[in-house]
Amino acid sequence: MGKEEVIVKETVEDVTKELASLVEKEANEAIQSRGKFIIGLSGGSLVNFLAAGLPTISTDWSLWHVLFCDERVVPFNSDDSTFGVYRRQLKSNGGALPLTESQFLCVDPALDADTAAADYAAKVSALLGPGRAPRCDLLLLGMGPDGHTCSLFPGHALLSVTDRAVAAITDSPKPPPARVTLTLPAVNAARAAVFAMAGAGKADMVRRVLRDREPLPAALVQPTDGRLVWILDQAAAAKL
């Protein structure tokens, strides 16, 4: 396993700044070493951190490729679509996020979940190369109140998938039920994986994962040869 770091900041604004600075560093190192930056985004509360933090970053945005750690198989104009949420950010305030739509690798919502997963897996392979463990430069992750991350839920059979990088789920306990997700081998192949979260609502689960080491999905994120960073505000870290 690579290195694990837990960073506790005073406020949610400090979490945003810390995350932006980490993303900037990873992006510019990747661009310098490999000529491009491949980042995986999650949905949920992470979007707010990125909407505020990404515009402050200094980088060559044209060399960014953005994929999704997970996505809900719903139309882009649905409130549940993670790409849809980011797309609204791209269009708001004259483009709050400094990226273009063509830089995103999307899950096709016109397909059923299994076909969408196969189609997304082919797009991921075309960008990162084939195999069950393609190597993203950086994955930005969230954790739900049940300890799920990506669309990998506690006790779900998808946690045991080891033969592919991308999988479909049609019985997600958190709606909507049809989703496409990176699997644990793909998540753990990342050069860096970062959880960012804030608020007292995260404190119990942060304790269970980081202090008690319960084998919940978020705790199974252990990059084999990469960095793992948790960025928390004081409220989320209160029970550590």
Ligand X SMILES: O=C1O[C@H](COP(=O)(O)O)[C@@H](O)[C@H](O)[C@H]1O
Q: Which chain residues interact with ligand X by CB under 6 A?
A: 42-46, 70, 142-144, 149, 151, 174
Closer by beta carbon to ligand X, 13 or else 146:
146
Closer by beta carbon to ligand X, 144 or else 226:
144
Q: What is the closest distance, in whole angstroms, from the C-beta atom of residue 15 to ligand X in the complex?
A: 12
Closer by beta carbon to ligand X, 132 or else 174:
174
Q: What is the closest distance, in whole angstroms, from the C-beta atom of residue 135 to ligand X in the complex?
A: 20
Closer by beta carbon to ligand X, 26 or else 70:
70
Closer by beta carbon to ligand X, 64 or else 86:
86
Q: What is the closest distance, in whole angstroms, from the C-beta atom of residue 130 to ligand X in the complex?
A: 25
Residue 204 CB: number of other CB atoms within 10 A? 14
Q: What is the closest distance, in whole angstroms, from the C-beta atom of residue 219 to ligand X in the complex?
A: 15
Q: What is the closest distance, in whole angstroms, from the C-beta atom of residue 213 to ligand X in the complex?
A: 20
- The span from the first CA to the last CA of the chain, in angstroms, equals 22
Q: Which residue is nearest to ligand X (CB)?
A: 44
Distance CA 167, CA 52 (A): 30
- Helices 12-34 and 46-53 cross at an angle (nearest 10°) of 70
